[in-house]
Chain A
Amino acid sequence: MARARRHEAAFSDYVVASQDRLRRVAYALCGDWHLADDLLQEAFTKLYLAWPRLSADRDPDGYVRTTLVRTSIDAHRRRQRRVRTVALGAGQDPAAAADTPLEERDALITALQELPEQQRKVVVLRHWLGLSVRETAVELGINEGTVKSHSSRGLASLERVLAPQRHG
Chain B
Amino acid sequence: MDLKDRFDQATSGGPSHAPLEERLHHGRRAAGRRTAGRALGGIVVAATVATGVATLSTGQEDRATDRPAPAVSSPTPAPALDIPVTASMENWEPEEWARMNPRTAELTVRRGVTATNMVDPAVRGVVSVALDLTRDGERRYVLLVRRSGIVSVSWDAPAGRTLREFVADEQDPMDSLPIATVRGTLDASLPLVGYRDGELYTVGGAEIVRVVEDPIEGFCAPNATAAVELLHEGVTYFAVLGDGNCGSSFSKLGDVASLEAIVARRRANIDWAADAQGERQRKELEREVAEKREQSDRR
Binding site for B on A (CB under 8 A): 8, 11-12, 15-16, 19-20, 23-25, 27-28, 33-34, 36-37, 41, 44-49, 81-94, 96-97, 99-100, 102-110, 124, 127-128, 130, 155, 158, 161-162, 164
Contact B13 A100 (CB under 8 A): yes
Contact A41 B268 (CB under 8 A): no
B87 at the interface (CB under 8 A from A): no
- By a CB distance below 8 angstroms, the chain B residues around A33 are 14-15
Sort A-B residue pairs by CB-CB distance and give the 10 closest, nearest first: A48-B27, A24-B11, A128-B7, A108-B10, A90-B16, A91-B269, A84-B247, A88-B251, A92-B272, A87-B176
Contact A86 B11 (CB under 8 A): no
Knowing A94-B272, A103-B283, the reply to whether A83 touches B20 (Cβ < 8 A) is: no
Interface-forming stretch among B96-104, B121-129, B178-186? B178-186
- By a CB distance below 8 angstroms, the chain B residues around A11 are 24, 27
B23 at the interface (CB under 8 A from A): yes
Interchain Cβ contacts under 8 Å between A and B, 19 examples: A36-B14, A44-B26, A82-B180, A83-B245, A83-B248, A85-B176, A85-B177, A87-B250, A88-B250, A88-B255, A90-B19, A91-B16, A91-B269, A105-B12, A106-B280, A108-B7, A110-B280, A127-B3, A128-B7
B99 to chain A, nearest CB (A): 22
Instruction: Tell me, in angstroms, the Cα distance from A48 to B29 when the chains sit together.
Output: 10
Instruction: Tell me, in angstroms, the Cα distance from A41 to B179 when the chains sit together.
Output: 15
Binary interface profile of B, 262-273, with partner A (CB < 8 Å = 1, else 0)?
A: 100110110111
B93 at the interface (CB under 8 A from A): no
B30 at the interface (CB under 8 A from A): yes
Neighbour of B15 across the interface among A15, A47, A83, A93, CB < 8 A = A93
Instruction: Tell me, in angstroms, the Cα distance from A155 to B2 when the chains sit together.
Output: 12
Neighbour of B18 across the interface among A41, A49, A161, CB < 8 A = A41
Q: Give the number of residue pairs across the A-B interface with Cβ within 8 Å.
A: 156
Contact B283 A83 (CB under 8 A): no
Q: Give the number of residues in B that approach A within 8 Å (Cβ atoms).
A: 55
B256 at the interface (CB under 8 A from A): yes
B9 at the interface (CB under 8 A from A): yes
Contact A87 B19 (CB under 8 A): yes
Instruction: Tell me, in angstroms, the Cα distance from A16 to B265 when the chains sit together.
Output: 26
B209 at the interface (CB under 8 A from A): no
Nearest to A98 among chain B residues (CB) is B272
Neighbour of A15 across the interface among B23, B30, B250, CB < 8 A = B23
- By a CB distance below 8 angstroms, the chain A residues around B26 are 41, 44-45, 48
Instruction: Tell me, in angstroms, the Cα distance from A100 to B250 when the chains sit together.
Output: 29
B237 to chain A, nearest CB (A): 12
- By a CB distance below 8 angstroms, the chain A residues around B172 are none
Nearest to A20 among chain B residues (CB) is B17
Instruction: Tell me, in angstroms, the Cα distance from A25 to B180 when the chains sit together.
Output: 27
B69 at the interface (CB under 8 A from A): no
Instruction: Tell me, in angstroms, the Cα distance from A128 to B9 when the chains sit together.
Output: 11
Nearest to A37 among chain B residues (CB) is B18
B249 at the interface (CB under 8 A from A): yes
